[in-house]
């Protein structure tokens, strides 16, 4: 008797279920299907060309002499690493990336700490600081090349003129430093924004408690703020690296790769676009990828730790 009375009351729970339950396999495909267009697109447009690059890198192939194309194994890699100019561009890439990332990270941290405080016009200052990141990269490079660095009428020498300083030719004297300064100017705002987000996600109660216990600002910074910021610093460093390793615009615009500023992306561009050395260009391209994979391995670890934390929070 009880069984019959409970049965109807349980029925509404089952009501929304479909009348004919689809097979589990069909259902699995139905949930997977929306992913497929994006996945197939990405594999076709990014993975296939890379595989082609990998294959070409094993050939001696100058597009001006297409008939002389032949398989050479790792010879192109030997050439890239053996040629002083090409080896130089590997070194330049490392130097450029490390210098720009570190400098913009330190500056970005200082600015983020300044902007984390309340003061009049904070929103305006933040907007002023973000602007360099929002100028089209080629335009930013042109700005530095012509408007700031020019030895005859550039703003830098114009300002130096007022204090009776020297009038250096910035790009000729310190070409790599000139490229780095322009990139630091563009990337510091990005680092600042990431670190500012980190600062504002700190536990304010914990900081108040530490202050009540008599901790100095410096102690709070070293023992509370920095450990909290670590993940944000790592994230900024790794994302900055990924973008700056690939930088082409600044090198191309400021120095056209001259004066020892050619990095790997510029070298790849030049060796196939101007020298028509398809095999060499591909080998250099594969080396850029290997470098990026090393960075990316660390990057993925950091991002996945951020990610796990978020999944844990939910």
CA 215 to chain centre: 36
Determine, following the binding rule CB under 8 A, whether residue 14 of this chain makes contact with another protein. no
Assess 111 for contact with another protein (CB under 8 A). yes
How far apart CA 268 and CA 73 sit, in angstroms, is 19
Binds another protein (CB under 8 A): choice among 102, 159, 209, 226? 159
User: Which of 95/243 has CB closer to another protein?
Assistant: 243
Stretch that binds another protein, among 74-82, 121-129, 168-176, 221-229 (CB under 8 A): 121-129
* Smallest distance from another protein to CB 123, Å: 10
Piece of the chain touching another protein by CB under 8 A; list 33-41, 73-81, 84-92, 98-106: 33-41
Binds another protein (CB under 8 A): choice among 62, 72, 174, 246: 246
- Three-class HEC string of 230-246: HHHHHHHHHHHHHHHHC
**Considering only residues 272-291, where is the footprint of another protein by CB under 8 A?**
272-273, 278, 281-282, 284-286, 288-289
Residues 252-271 as x/- pattern, contact with another protein by CB under 8 A: xx--x-------xx--xx--
CB of 67 to another protein, least distance (A): 16
Dihedral angle at the C-alpha atoms of 281, 287, 288, 290, nearest 10 degrees?
A: 150
Q: By CB under 8 A, tell whether 230 contacts another protein.
A: no
Q: How far apart are CA 71 and CA 69, in angstroms?
A: 7
> 77, 190, 225, 229: which one contacts another protein (CB under 8 A)?
190
C-alpha torsion sign, points 266, 269, 271, 274: negative
- From CA 215, how far away is CA 13, in angstroms rounded? 58
212 binds another protein (CB under 8 A): yes
Q: Pick the piece of the chain touching another protein (CB under 8 A) from 18-26, 72-80, 94-102, 159-167.
A: 159-167
The first and second tokens of residue 138, run together, are: 């080629």
Least gap, CB of 305 to another protein (angstroms) = 10
Q: How many chain residues interact with another protein (CB under 8 A)?
A: 113
Helix (H) or strand (E) holding 150: none
**62 bridge partner residues:** 277
Binding residues among 127-156 for another protein as defined by CB under 8 A: 127-140, 142-148, 150, 152-155
Instruction: Give the distance, in angstroms, between the CA of residue 110 and the centroid of all CA atoms in the same chain.
Output: 20
Q: Which residue has the tokens 């002389």?
A: 68
CB of 7 to another protein, least distance (A): 21
Contact 113, 199 (CB under 8 A): yes
**Which 54-73 positions form the footprint of another protein (CB under 8 A)?**
56
Q: Please, what's the largest Cα pairwise distance for the chain? A: 105
- Whichever of 1 and 271 has its CB closer to another protein, that residue is 271
Closest Cα partner for 246 from 264, 267, 271?
264
Q: Which is nearer to another protein, 1 or 213 (CB)?
A: 213
Angle at 58 between CA 54 and CA 61, to 5 degrees: 110
Residue 33 binds to another protein (criterion: CB under 8 A): yes
Angle formed by the axes of helices 278-313 and 48-56, nearest 10°: 140
Q: Is 45 in the site for another protein (CB under 8 A)?
A: yes
Contact stretch for another protein (CB under 8 A) within 75-83, 126-134, 172-180, 219-227: 126-134
102 binds another protein (CB under 8 A): no
In the numeric block, the tokens 């020298």 are attached to: 275
Contact status: 34 vs another protein (CB under 8 A): yes
């Amino acid at each position: 008797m009880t069984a019959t009375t409970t049965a109807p009351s349980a029925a509404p729970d089952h009501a929304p279920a479909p009348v004919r339950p689809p097979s589990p396999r069909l259902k699995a495909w139905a949930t997977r299907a929306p992913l497929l267009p994006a996945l197939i697109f990405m594999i076709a447009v990014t993975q296939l060309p890379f595989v082609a690059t990998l294959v070409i890198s094993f050939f001696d192939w100058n597009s001006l002499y297409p008939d002389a194309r032949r398989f050479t194994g790792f010879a192109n890699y030997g050439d890239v690493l053996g040629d002083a100019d090409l080896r130089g561009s590997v070194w330049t890439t490392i130097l450029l990336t490390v210098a720009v990332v570190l400098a913009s990270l330190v500056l970005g941290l200082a600015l983020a700490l300044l902007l984390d405080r309340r003061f009049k016009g904070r929103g305006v200052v933040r907007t002023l600081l973000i602007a360099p990141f929002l100028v089209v990269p080629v335009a930013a490079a042109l700005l530095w090349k012509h408007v700031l660095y020019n030895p005859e009428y550039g703003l830098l020498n114009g300002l130096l003129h007022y204090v009776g300083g020297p009038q250096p030719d910035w790009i000729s004297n310190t070409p790599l430093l000139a490229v780095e300064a322009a990139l630091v100017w563009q990337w510091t705002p990005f680092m600042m924004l990431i670190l500012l987000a980190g600062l504002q996600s700190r536990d304010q109660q914990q900081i108040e408690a530490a202050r009540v216990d008599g901790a100095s600002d410096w102690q709070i910074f070293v023992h509370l703020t920095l450990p909290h910021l670590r993940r944000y610093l790592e994230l900024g460093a790794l994302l900055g690296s990924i973008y700056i390793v690939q930088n082409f615009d600044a090198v191309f615009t400021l120095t056209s790769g001259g004066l020892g500023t050619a990095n790997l992306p510029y070298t790849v561009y030049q060796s196939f676009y101007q020298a028509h050395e398809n095999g060499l260009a591909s080998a250099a391209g594969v080396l850029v990828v290997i470098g990026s994979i090393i960075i990316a391995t660390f990057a993925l670890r950091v991002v996945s730790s951020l990610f796990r934390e978020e999944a844990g929070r939910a």
